Every structure is written in structure tokens, then in C-alpha cells.
Structure 1
Amino acid sequence: MLSNGTNGLIHKCRIDLRHTLIFSLRNQGFYTHVVSKPNSETQKASKFGKTSNALVYFNSQITKCGRNGNLEGSEAVFRSMPHKNAVSWTAMITAYADNGKIGKARKLFDEMPDRTTASYNAMITACIKNKCDVSEAIRLFLSIPEKNSVSYAAMITGFIRAGMFDEAEKLYSETPVKWQNSVSSNALINGYLKSGKLEEAVRIFEGMAEKDLVSYSSMIDGYCKMGSIVDARGLFDTMPEKNVVTWTAMIDGYFKAGSFEDGFGLFLTMRRAEDVKVNSTTLTVIFEACGNFKRFREGTQVHGLVSRMGLEFDVFLGNSMISMYCKFGSMDAANAVFTMMSKKDIVSWNSLLTGFVQHDQFFEAYELFEKMPRKDVVSWTNMIIGLSGKGNISKCLELFKMMPEKDGIAWTAVITGFVANEEYEEALCWFAKMLHENVCPNPSTFSCVLSASAYLAALNQGLQIHAGVVKLGMECKLSVQNSLVSMYSKCGNTYDAYKIFLCINEPNVVSYSTMIGGFALNGFGEEALKVFTKMESEGKKPNDVTFLSLLSACAHTGLVGLGWKYFKSMKSMYEIEPNPDHYACMVDLLGKCGLLDEAYNLISSMPFEPHSGVWGSLLGSCKTYLHLDLAELAAKKLMELEPESATPYVVLSQLYYIQGEKRESNRLRNIKKSKRIKKNPGCSWILLGDKVHPFSVGDESHMNVDEIKVTLELIREEMELSLGHEDICY
């Protein structure tokens, strides 16, 4: 309930608004306040003269306030009107409907003294926009004394939104000839296009007796969105006349199809056309494309064009420019545009904030966040993402708890932060909290927690998450399917991983790479190579991750020739430059097959400095094949790259001992000891309920360590009795 002070303030605002309107009307000669009793002539003049102008003004103010979300303003104008006509009532009904107040719209409609076709149409549209109440819309439609083209178009739109295409087609065919114009046809075309039914839309379009600009623009946009760029351009070229909407739709279609040159070329053609002018919507499309395609030169040129044309620097145009410069990484330019904007909305602030976060300018991001006049979920989530990227999980949680409203995206950002910082158990705990708070996970959430389960090799946890995926109907989401394949593979269950992979309708490069990697990880090299063969036959282009999995598969199967073939094809066939990890895989492959000199020659030919993984692979192979000279070289390089690592000392010491050089072995052990370099202890873990219990060599910090020792002793005794061995130990 509002306080007396608040009620008084609202009442004062309404009075002020009425006085402002009256003052404005008087200045324009629309409003006459009659003090004395008017005679019949005055009444007649008031009714048919100035009062008519006042009504038009009042009605336009109701509509304007409603469209701007100022519902109280619309109500104040409506109540202050000395005279109302059907247009006034209809405008107020529409204002309610546009702001989601369907109950108030219906109440006002029922109170209308005289309903017109327009008021019925407004109420039908309100029912359709709000929860698509088709049954009520039909009842209203059948009640209209005299229907017009808008009535039929509104009802057809209602059927389409409800997925009732047969009913929409039936009503379309029953539309009287006098109302069979482009309005109803366009409603049906748009409905079919939004539902992906291109062929049905084409059928309606081609059957139209008269097509208008809306018809052509809708079809061009539909063709583009369905990837039929050639058909879209063919229709565009045959149009009798074009407006800025059709030009923009065709330009955007080229960009969405990945053809920047064609889209930008058409924009230049549009600029030369005399019968059309570029508007802010067109320029917004251009700025978005320049950012997506990283076309800095063209983007800055169009920015200059905006200045030369003297276009109004509206908020939408400014936001698109900020986003473009952020994608270029030109944060100074993005900030300059932001500063120049006289009007900013929440999107303006969030666009710049996102740019700062994505480009690791966290100090600037935090400073901007603190200055924001209003923060929404996107603002908070961006900051959480930025903090997690810096490894500051505690600050992430602090911000998260401060959020006034938390949606699934915000929860996912926190969980992703834990996974990114290798705190997998915490990620799963927070996922449990998310479910406890009745927040619905999205596909990104599931992908994240499946990744956590995979790293922990927690198959039981992964199975529970998979059950949740099925329950929420997300098992057909590609990102989730790929994560499931990865989880099952990393948990050693390649059977279920492959079963899910086969269920993916349109696997992408991630799907194939994950399955190849899963087979390779579990030692099924031949199966991995078969999946790659299938990938090639499907015309999917592999990426650098695919080749890492492939080379690993070759290492498992000892296929040196095939490994060399794949390694060389990266650059020659797919224009992918091998990185240090690819070289490490090849060194591992050659080393496992005993080709140590060939492995060393490959390392020597690397165009960059080898990392520790490369030398580590060579050192491991040298130990297997007792190649002391190369082992000494590899160990020396590892000691330089990772001075705190015990691996080169341990491996080389063991190799010296095997070769009979015990003095060198002891010397190396003493060096390691003097430097206080310790080998990382072995670690294992088990999952009980929702908690992971890790165990390390020599670690007795577990809260149940005494009970564990007693249990182990009992197991040892039972083993001695059953196996008959006296020297079993743990």
C-alpha cells in the first residue's frame, strides 16, 4: 500500500500534467475554458471546432505516453479529458495492452459506451500479445459487428502465434474479397517465416494479387534468414520500388550469410541511390557487421560518414558503435563514443563494461560499474565474469550476494568461475544450491557442471546431471550433447559417449573433436581415426583441437606414417599452423615408436621455443629406450623451464642407476635434495554423496583418518587370511 505522501505526490503529478496540457493547448488555440454558461452556438462551435482539435491532441498524448512506458501519464491524460471519443478509449486500451495490463484493458473495453471496429481490433491484439489468449480473441472477433482488414489480419496473427496454421489458412481463405488486401497476406507470410515455413510463405506471396513493400521486405528477410541469399537478391532486384527497410534487410542478409564484401558493396550502392536515404537502423547493421568481421577500416569510415551526414547521434547508433570498437579492441575509441553520447541507456553502459571485461581492463570496468546510475543483471554478471577471470572467486561471491535479482545466467557465471579456477567440487556444490533455490539451469549451466564432473571423473555425479538434462528437455541441445560426450569419455565410459555422439543430428567440429579425443584418451586409436574419416566424408573442416586428438590417437596405435600425414596436412590442406602442443604430440608419437633421433630433429626444426611438454615427452621416451645422451639434454632443458619440478631429476637419476652409473644417480638425488625440490605426491579421490574426498600420499588431514586406518587394517588382515601372505602392507 502506498503512503499518504506517495499518493499526494502522484496526485500532484497528475494535476501538473493536466495544467501542462491545458497550457500547451491554449498556446495552440485548441483549448477554451468557458466560465459563463455557453449558448447553443458556443456549444456547437466547441463541439465541432476547437474541441475536435483538442481531442486529437489528447488522444495523441495518450498514445505517446503509452508507447514510452509512461502508463500513469496516459491515465492522467485520459481522466483529465473533458470530452472523450471512441479513439480516446481505444488509445487507452492499447496503452494498457502495450504495457502488459491486459486486465485493465479488458475492464476499460467493457466500460466503453460505444465500441467501434477499431476498439475490437485493439482488444483482439491485446489478447494475442499477452499470453496469446486465442479463445478470447476468437470470441471478440466473432462479436465485431463490422469487421475490416485489420480485424482479419489480427485474428490470423493470433492463430499463427498459437501455432494454429490450419485455422489461419482457413480464415485467410474466408476473408471477404473487399478485405483481401496485403495486410492479411502479410500477417500470414510473417507467421510462416517466423516458424521457419519458407515454402508456405512463398506460396502465399506468389498468390497475392497486389504486393506492397512490406510483402517484399518480409520475403527478402525470410529468404536471408533461411540462407537463400540468391533467391533473396533475385527478389530484391525485381522489386518495382525499394525503401530503406528492404535495402537494409538485403544488406543484413549478406552479412548474416558471412559475405561482408557483398553486404558492404550493396551499402555503397544504396548510398548512391537517389530515392533512398540511409538511416540509423542501416548504420547499426553496418557497425555490427564491421565489428563481427573485424573490419576496422570500413568501421571507422562509416563512423566518419555519420559525422559528415550530420545524423542525429541516437542511443541505438551510439550503442552499436561502442560494441563495434569493443570488438576491435579499441577501448579508447569505444570510451570516446560513450563520452560523446548525450543520452545513454543501460545497454550503453553494459556494452562498454563488457568491452573492458573482455579485454582484461578490469580496473576501468570496476570504475565504470561503480559510476552506473542503474545496474541490471547483465551489469552484475559481467563483473562476476571479470573477477572470475582474474581468479578472485571470493570477490565474485561477494558481488553475487549483493545482486538484487539473480537469474540463471548469473548463477552460471559463478559456477563457470569455479570451473575456470579448477575448483570443481565447489562448482558442483553451487549447482546444487542453484537447484535448491528453484533457479532453472540453462544449457550453459549443464555444460559447465558436466565439465566439472569430467575433471573429477565423477561418473555418478555426471549421471545425475544427465538425468536433469533429460528431465528439462535439453538432451537435444548441441552444446549439452558435446559436454555429455566429453564427460562420459573422461570418465572412461566410451560406450555411452559414442552412443550420445551418434544421436547428435548435426554434429559440429566440436562434436567430432570431442569424440576423437575421447577414443584417443581411452586407448581406442583406430576408432578415433574412423570418426575422423567420417568427419571428412561429411565435409566438416577440422580445427587445431581435432588434430591434437588425432595425433594422440596415432600415438596410442603407433601409426607413425599416418601421424606424419596428419601433421603435414594441417598447414598444406587446412591452413592451420601447428602449435607447440602439436609438436609435443608428434614427439610423443615418434618417441613411443623408438624414433628418438627423428623426434629430436623435429624439436630442432620448431619455429618457436619448445615448451616443457615437448621436452617432457622426449625425456619419457628416452627413459623407455635407455637413451642417456638425449635424456641428459631433455632433462637439462626441463630444469631450465621448470626449476621447481622434480621430474627431470627423478627420471634422469633412475636412468643413471639403470645404466650402472650409481655415483651420478646419487649426485643428482643430492642436488634435488639440496634445492629442496619435492616430487608432487600421488593423489586420488572418491565421491560420496555430493562431496569429493581427496587423498594424497602421506596426508593424514582427513577428518575420518583414524576410522580409515582401522578399516584398512581389517582389510589387510582379511587379505592375509584369504591369500596366505604375511607381507601384505599398505
Structure 2
Amino acid sequence: MLAKPNFLHVRLRLPFSEFALPNLKYSTSSNTLLNAGAKTNKFLIYCNTQIAHNGRNGNIKEAESVFNRMPTKNIVSWTAMLTAYSQNGQLKKARALFDEMPERSVASWNAMLTAYMRNRVEIDGIFSFFQLMPERNSVSFAAMITGFVNAGRFDMAENLYNRTPMVLREPVCSNVLINGYLKVGKLDDAVRVFDGMVRKDIVSCSAMIDGNCKNGRVIEARELFNAMKEKNGVTWGAMIDGYMKVCCFGDGFELFLRMRREGDARLEPTIITIILEACGRFSKHQQGYQVHGLVTRLGFEFDVFLGNSLITMYSRFGCVDAAKCVFDSMFRKDVISWNSLITAFVQAGNLEEGYELFKRAPEKDVVSWTAMITGFSEKGLTEKCVDLFAMIPEKDDVAWTTLISSFVNKGEYEEAFRWFIKMLQSAVRPNPLTLSSILSASAGLAMLNQGLQIHACVMKMNMELDLSIQSSLISMYSKSGSLDDAYRIFKFINFPNIVCFNAMITGFAQNGYGKEALKLFDQLRNEGEQPNGITFLGVLSACMHAGLVEEGWNYFKSMRSLYNIEPEPDHYTSMVDILGRAGLLDEAVDLINSMPFKTHSGVWGALLAASKTHLRLDLAKLAAHRILDLEPSSAAPYVVLSDLYCIVRKKKDEEQVRLAKKLKRIKKYPGCSWVLLKNNVGLFLCGDQSHLNFKEISCTLWTIMDEMKQLSSFGKWNYEKIAILTSNQRDDDMSIFSIVQKVVHSYHHLHGPPVNVLLRRYRMYSSPFYREVAVSPREVELGAQHWKSGLTYLREIELAIVAVYHAKCILRPFIHSIG
């Protein structure tokens, strides 16, 4: 026999409009179904549920319709409607309904209290309402403490917590206060509240484990974890994630295996996601394959969330084909699935297939667009980036930041500034990454005034505590010659990370404070930070500028022996530069030959420059031929060889080099410089004679050159030596003229007071493998000493010229020069 059907259950499948309206289709002559249902508790519960459901989903009109047509209402109905108004931002209606309520319970008062908090009423007003409440429970105290915490009034939150009756305080109120302290990084206060708890539940323990892990206290977190008698998935996940965040993959994976063995908690997809993310981040291929097999065995392969994590893991492994197989096997795909595979193709350099997948995606969000913009940016196709950006329907701060970063990465700093201004004009608030990118553009242009404006913008937006911004500020001030400001920001950081250390070490090195850079490196090690490849680039640069050859060798060797860091081509280039400056060219050649990978133009460019400095024609020819093998269109080898043949009086060889350069149509792009003073930019080329005040400039130049000759204790020999090192022109006087012409141009063009900052950047021969160098006030003094003592090395001309300006007070402009 079939069971008698439950009429109410069947009818609940219909829309409410067919069930509760007075003009109901299904009715009897004597008594409508509505009247019959209104007398039952089930009908009332159903109506209250519908009000709550519509309120949560934003259907406030439907909620009102249900509430207004209910024949009878209980206190739950009124409270549900009050909550619905609160959830949809209609505070006035919520208060009017609260005043209209025939009776109120503590739940009604709590609902109104929560409504005030949701709609961001002033916290003092909320507290006044709280004090008017005739009755309070744990939810009331927890809500009020939450309000104080969200408003940053921890003193008031602590005071109310202490006045809360013990029976209502734990564990809800304690957990609220603990989470509030942890959210703002006040771990010690959270520990104090936690230690004072009499009844600790699994929520409070899990929160403290997560808080300790996020603050690097993994040992304390593990002790608390081991002391817990009962653990759930959240607890296991927090501890495993804590190990992964501090790069303890082995401990985290072992804990994951222990969880599987003990079976204390059900294996949730979120925990598997943590493991998959860690396997991808730490390139743990074997463990990643094992976890993938576990996902399949447990039947989780249909989980979209886990499928997306698998795609991301395989993309980090570089296994794009495996990522595509996972994508193709997914029965249901969301926008994250498409974005993950698009990103995998882009990161693997397969931009064409990524773009085809992007065009096929049924739904695109800002991540989809920014992934493609990033891909085209890495290929240097900024015009395509702009076209894609224009097609984004809703441009948020992430989209703007991605476009601005694409220009910064390509070195188009002016365009980056132009789009940053457009972003502000579009009323889009920059995020920390936006400001960090535009600060990098300021550093690239060495435009201190613009950098100061961005710094003011950072302070106005209360972002000065963001580590990425702080590291960018350090770089910006360092590259603009304001090392004191850079170091002041570094000292302001309570817990600098490796990025901040790297920025400051590099800043010291570039500004001539090599020993200070090495001291900071020692501080980094003493504080337990692990140096990386960028750190050693800064350290080697410091040794290079300070002439510390032996120390440079030791640091270079320690990369592999002490820190397990394989030197990259840039490290070898720096080391060759150190040896070359010291005249140890044969050792530099041996180092190049010992490189475990294919050499690149950077190391040979460093050797070429050193060969010219020390007049080693044989090594210059070797380096020039190797560079031409790698970069046939490079002009630097022809220029250097031509100069050296001229020096050693081999006129015929010099002419052959010049002829070969001409036949191959290789052009040496002239140096381009610009001077920024009083918001005016003067742009001119090396050798330019088109300025209106050219005669006045020429007179001043000859005066400066006479002073330079007089400063030289070795007379004309030192002057000629410097000229040979800095120009491919045959006329020594004209070589000096071509270098200092641009700065004197600004001196005669603008007659205002001198700017306090003096910076000169100089790139030899317009070739990509010569690094830019900056001259600091410290190096101005060193340059004067070197000039008087007759010491000569690659950068002496820069130092000498600036020393003359500094000593004679002829000119102190803010200069950025690339020549």
C-alpha cells in the first residue's frame, strides 16, 4: 500500500504566491486553504522561512509581500522582517518596524543592534542602544564586542569583555575578541585572552593555531595542536597551512599523512587544496602526483574547486599538457577553471593557444582580461595590451594596475605615468601594487619630484605600512640619490622582509656605500632571513663599487656552498665586472669559461669594457666576436675595437672595423638626455648644437675642461686617458664636450637657484649589456680624490665631472642622463 501523501510537502514545492495569497486557486467553499493553514504552526514557520530566505537573497519586495499578507504574525516573523531590512541596507525601515513591534524579545533587540552595525552607525550610538537593552545574552555581548573591534576601539572591547558575566563570556565572546586581535596582528593580546579562558573550545584553539602560524610561531602552534584532545578539519587545515606558509613542506606533508592515518577528521577538499597549492609552489612533483591519485580514489575528481587547484599545480610544474587534461576531464567548469588554464598557457610562453582559449571562454572576468594583458606585456606588445584593456567592460583597480605594470616592465615609464593619471581621473582608487609600480616608474626616470608626490599619495591613503610600497619607496629614493630618505624608510619598518633588505642593500651599493651594504647583509643573516639571488646581486654590486675583489669572490662562492643558490648569468656578469675593474682579466676569462650554462652577451660585455679600460686588445677581440655571435646587430663591439685600434695606432685595422660596421648597416644610437627643472623638460641628443644659447654653453664647457685639466696631477696624460675611456671620437676635447654638454645646457637655460639633488646616470655605448650607474655625493668626494691622485678606472670620468661641479658650485641640477 502506498503511503498517504503529505499535502503540505507537495504544496511547498509551489511558489509562495500560489500558496498564501487570499485569492488562492486551491480552496474549498467553506474554508480556504489559507485559513486552514494559518492555524497551523507549520504554515507560520514556512512564512517566516520565506521572509528570511528572500531577505538573504536581496528580494526585499518578496519578503515584504509575504510579511504583509500573513494573517497572523509571531515575534519570529517580526524579527525575520527586521533582519531582512538590515541585510538590504534599509535601516530606517528596520527601525520603524522595530518601534512598531507589539512585543520584543532579546533576539529582536539583537537584530536591531546588528542592523546598526551592518549599516555602519557610529559606534558610540550603537553602544548607547546596547545599554538600553532590557535583556542581553551572549549574542548581544559578542555583537557589541565585534562592533568595538571593527571600529578599532580595542580598549572599549576589552572593558566590555571584562564586564561580561562569566557564564555569557565563554566561549563566544572570548572567540570574538581573540579573532579581533589576530585580525590586526596583535598576537600577544590574543594569547593573553586565550590563556585567561576557563573553557577553551575547538574554535578558539583553531583560531590561535592559525594566528600563531601566520605570525611565524609554528612551534607554539604545534604545541597547542598536540595538546588538543579533539580536532576537526579546520584545526588540521590550519596547522598544515601554517607549515606551508613558513616553507616547512616536509613537516606539513607529514602532518597531512598522519591525519590520513589517524582518521580524526574527515578529509575535506579545502585541506587537499592546501596540499596541492604547496606542491605547486615548492615544485614537489612526486607528492603532487600522489595527491592527484588520492583525489581520484576518493571520488573528488568531480569537485570544481579541486580541479582548479590541480590545473594550477600542473601549470607551476610546467606541465601544461597535464593541466589541459585535467581541464578537459572536468564535467563542470567555472570561470576560475578557464582562467587557470589561460594563465598556465601564458606562463608557459604559449601566448597564441592561451589567447584562443581566452576567446572561447563562455564567461570572462577581470582575471581573464588581466591574464592576457600580462601575457602580451611579457612579449612587449603594449599596444595589444591597450586594445584588450579598452575591451574590459568594468575596469577595476586590478585591471588598471596590470596595464600600468606592463608599461613599467617594458621601461615605458612616461606611458605608465600617463595611464596612472587616467586611472585617478576615472575615480578608481589605486591599490598597493599600483602605487608600487608607479614608484618603480619614478625610480626608472629618477624623477624625485614625482616620487615625492606618489609618496604623499601613499600617506594620504594610509598605505605606508604596506611592505611592497615600502620596498618601492626605498628603491625610488635610492635611485634618485636621496639615500638618507631611503634608509629612514628602511629603519621605520618593524619587520623588513627580504624584498626590503634587497632594496636597501642595492641602494647602498649603487650610491657608493659598499661597506654599509655588506653590513646590512650581515644584519639580514643575523635576523634569520634567507638571502636569495637578488640579494647577492646587490652584495656583488657593493663589492664592485668598493673594489673588494677578495670579498666578492667569497660571497660568490658562498652562494652555492652555504645557501644552495645556483649563480645565474647576472651573478657571473657582476663577478666578471669586479675582476675586470681590478685588472684581473685572465681570471675573468677563466670564470666565463667555467660557467655551467651557455654564456650570454652580458658577461662578454663586461669583459669588453674591462679590456678597453686596460688596453687588452686580444681579449677585446675575443669578447667582441663572442658578442657578435650572440647579437649580430650590436654596435658596441665595433665601437670598442675601433677605439682600441686607434689607441695602438693600427689605422688600417680601425678602418676595416668601421667599414664592416658600415656594410652591415649597424647604427650606434646617439645618447639622449633630458633635464627636468621647474617642471620643464629639456631634451637633446649627444653632439646637439641647435640650442639658442649654444655659444654660451660652449664657453662654459671650455672653462670646465680647463679646470678638469688643472685638477689632474698627471696633466694631459690623465685627461687623454679619460677621453679615450668615454668616447669613440678622435678629438679628446670634443669627447669631453659630448659628455658635459647636456648639463651645461640646463645651467645656461635656467637661471633659478640650483636643485639640491645631483644625479648622473651613464650607460656606456648604448648597449643593453652595460648597466646604468648612479653617482652619489659620497662618490663625488671619491671622484675628486681619484682625479687628483691619478687613479683611473671605468667610472672615473663620471666622478671627475661631478667632482668639478661639486667643488666649483658651477652646476647642481637634477639630471637624468642616458648616453
Which of the five TM-score ranges fits, normalised by the shorter chain?
0.7 to 0.9
Q: The residue matched to 1:629 in structure 2 has which SS?
A: helix
* Alpha-carbon separation, structure 1, partners of 2:703 and 2:279: 76
Cα distance 1:17–1:158, how it changes in 2: closer, same or farther (>3 A)?
same
Equivalent position amino acid for 2:693 in 1: T
Q: Determine if the alignment matches structure 1 residue 388 to structure 2 residue 388.
A: no
Q: The residue matched to 1:709 in structure 2 has which SS?
A: coil
Equivalent position amino acid for 1:20 in 2: P
- 8 Å Cα contact 1:17-1:77 kept in structure 2: no
Q: The residue matched to 1:685 in structure 2 has which SS?
A: strand
Deviations 1:681-729 (CA, angstroms, capped at 9, x unpaired): 12212336778654334779xxxxxxx533324655798999999x999
1:56-135 map, 5 Å? 56-68=45-57, 71=60, 74-75=63-64, 77-78=66-67, 81-131=70-120, 133-135=122-124
* Alpha-carbon separation, structure 1, partners of 2:266 and 2:282: 25
Q: Compute the displacement of 1:345 (Å).
A: 4.5
Q: The residue matched to 1:680 in structure 2 has which SS?
A: coil
> Which structure would you say has the larger RCO, counting Cα contacts within 8 Å and 6 or more residues apart?
2
Pick from 18, 28, 31 the counterpart of residue 35 of structure 1.
28
* Alpha-carbon separation, structure 1, partners of 2:296 and 2:31: 57
1:633-672 map, 5 Å? 633-672=622-661
Q: Determine if the alignment matches structure 1 residue 479 to structure 2 residue 468.
A: yes
* Alpha-carbon separation, structure 1, partners of 2:323 and 2:159: 52
What's the counterpart of residue 280 of structure 1? 269
- 8 Å Cα contact 1:594-1:625 kept in structure 2: yes
Q: Determine if the alignment matches structure 1 residue 359 to structure 2 residue 348.
A: yes
- 8 Å Cα contact 1:520-1:549 kept in structure 2: yes
What's the counterpart of residue 147 of structure 1? 136
Q: Compute the displacement of 1:637 (Å).
A: 2.0
Q: The residue matched to 1:684 in structure 2 has which SS?
A: strand
Q: Compute the displacement of 1:311 (Å).
A: 4.9
What's the counterpart of residue 138 of structure 1? 127
* Alpha-carbon separation, structure 2, partners of 1:119 and 1:595: 84
What's the counterpart of residue 694 of structure 2? 712
What's the counterpart of residue 20 of structure 1? 15
Pick from 206, 210, 222 the counterpart of residue 217 of structure 1.
206
Pick from 652, 670, 675 the counterpart of residue 664 of structure 2.
675
* Alpha-carbon separation, structure 1, partners of 2:706 and 2:581: 39
What's the counterpart of residue 576 of structure 2? 587
Q: TM-score, normalised by structure 1?
A: 0.85
Cα distance 1:291–1:123, how it changes in 2: closer, same or farther (>3 A)?
farther
Q: The residue matched to 2:394 in structure 1 has which SS?
A: coil
Cα distance 1:643–1:176, how it changes in 2: closer, same or farther (>3 A)?
closer
Q: Compute the displacement of 1:426 (Å).
A: 1.1
Gaps of 5+ in 1: 1-15, 701-707
Q: Compute the displacement of 1:52 (Å).
A: 1.0
Q: Compute the displacement of 1:25 (Å).
A: 10
Equivalent position amino acid for 1:656 in 2: Y
Q: The residue matched to 1:710 in structure 2 has which SS?
A: coil
Deviations 1:121-168 (CA, angstroms, capped at 9, x unpaired): 122223223326434433443343333222222222222222333333
Pick from 374, 379, 396 the counterpart of residue 407 of structure 1.
396
Deviations 1:579-638 (CA, angstroms, capped at 9, x unpaired): 222222222222222222222222232223322222222222222322232222222222
* Alpha-carbon separation, structure 1, partners of 2:703 and 2:583: 45
- 8 Å Cα contact 1:18-1:80 kept in structure 2: no
Q: The residue matched to 2:393 in structure 1 has which SS?
A: coil
Equivalent position amino acid for 1:233 in 2: R
What's the counterpart of residue 490 of structure 2? 501
Query: What is the aligned residue count?
Result: 699
* Alpha-carbon separation, structure 1, partners of 2:328 and 2:679: 49
Q: TM-score, normalised by structure 2?
A: 0.76
Q: Compute the displacement of 1:34 (Å).
A: 5.2
Q: The residue matched to 2:692 in structure 1 has which SS?
A: helix
- 8 Å Cα contact 2:20-2:34 kept in structure 1: no
Equivalent position amino acid for 1:712 in 2: F
Cα distance 1:455–1:233, how it changes in 2: closer, same or farther (>3 A)?
closer
* Alpha-carbon separation, structure 1, partners of 2:595 and 2:76: 78
Pick from 611, 625, 634 the counterpart of residue 600 of structure 2.
611
Equivalent position amino acid for 1:208 in 2: M
Q: Determine if the alignment matches structure 1 residue 457 to structure 2 residue 457.
A: no
* Alpha-carbon separation, structure 1, partners of 2:318 and 2:484: 44
Q: Determine if the alignment matches structure 1 residue 305 to structure 2 residue 294.
A: yes
- 8 Å Cα contact 1:18-1:77 kept in structure 2: no
Q: Compute the displacement of 1:101 (Å).
A: 4.5
Deviations 1:184-227 (CA, angstroms, capped at 9, x unpaired): 33333333333333343334334434333333333333333333
* Alpha-carbon separation, structure 2, partners of 1:108 and 1:549: 66
Cα distance 1:676–1:305, how it changes in 2: closer, same or farther (>3 A)?
closer
Cα distance 1:101–1:583, how it changes in 2: closer, same or farther (>3 A)?
same
1:410-449 map, 5 Å? 410-449=399-438
What's the counterpart of residue 248 of structure 1? 237
Q: Compute the displacement of 1:108 (Å).
A: 3.8
Cα distance 1:394–1:112, how it changes in 2: closer, same or farther (>3 A)?
farther
Equivalent position amino acid for 2:574 in 1: C
* Alpha-carbon separation, structure 2, partners of 1:304 and 1:350: 24
- 8 Å Cα contact 2:301-2:307 kept in structure 1: no
Q: The residue matched to 2:288 in structure 1 has which SS?
A: helix
* Alpha-carbon separation, structure 2, partners of 1:130 and 1:340: 45
Cα distance 1:674–1:208, how it changes in 2: closer, same or farther (>3 A)?
closer
- 8 Å Cα contact 1:321-1:337 kept in structure 2: yes
What's the counterpart of residue 387 of structure 2? 398
* Alpha-carbon separation, structure 1, partners of 2:611 and 2:702: 39
- 8 Å Cα contact 1:425-1:691 kept in structure 2: no
Cα distance 1:523–1:388, how it changes in 2: closer, same or farther (>3 A)?
same
Q: Determine if the alignment matches structure 1 residue 156 to structure 2 residue 145.
A: yes
* Alpha-carbon separation, structure 2, partners of 1:603 and 1:295: 32
* Alpha-carbon separation, structure 1, partners of 2:13 and 2:347: 49
* Alpha-carbon separation, structure 1, partners of 2:539 and 2:237: 44
The farther-off stretch of 139-148 and 405-414 is 139-148
What's the counterpart of residue 3 of structure 2? none
Cα distance 1:273–1:98, how it changes in 2: closer, same or farther (>3 A)?
farther
The farther-off stretch of 157-166 and 684-693 is 684-693
Equivalent position amino acid for 2:298 in 1: M
Q: Compute the displacement of 1:416 (Å).
A: 0.9
- 8 Å Cα contact 1:216-1:235 kept in structure 2: yes
- 8 Å Cα contact 2:38-2:71 kept in structure 1: no
Cα distance 1:387–1:58, how it changes in 2: closer, same or farther (>3 A)?
farther
Q: The residue matched to 1:145 in structure 2 has which SS?
A: coil
* Alpha-carbon separation, structure 2, partners of 1:649 and 1:599: 21
* Alpha-carbon separation, structure 2, partners of 1:344 and 1:112: 47
Equivalent position amino acid for 1:544 in 2: G
Deviations 1:375-403 (CA, angstroms, capped at 9, x unpaired): 43333333322332232222322232333
Q: Compute the displacement of 1:99 (Å).
A: 4.5
Q: The residue matched to 2:383 in structure 1 has which SS?
A: helix
Q: The residue matched to 2:15 in structure 1 has which SS?
A: helix
Cα distance 1:249–1:479, how it changes in 2: closer, same or farther (>3 A)?
closer
Sequence identity of aligned pairs in percent?
56
What's the counterpart of residue 549 of structure 1? 538
Q: Compute the displacement of 1:573 (Å).
A: 1.6
Deviations 1:523-546 (CA, angstroms, capped at 9, x unpaired): 443443343344344443332223
Gaps of 5+ in 2: 1-10, 708-732, 742-819
Question: What CA RMSD, in Å, does the superposition of the two structures yield over aligned residues?
Answer: 3.7
Cα distance 1:272–1:715, how it changes in 2: closer, same or farther (>3 A)?
closer
* Alpha-carbon separation, structure 1, partners of 2:301 and 2:572: 55
What's the counterpart of residue 253 of structure 2? 264
Q: Determine if the alignment matches structure 1 residue 194 to structure 2 residue 189.
A: no
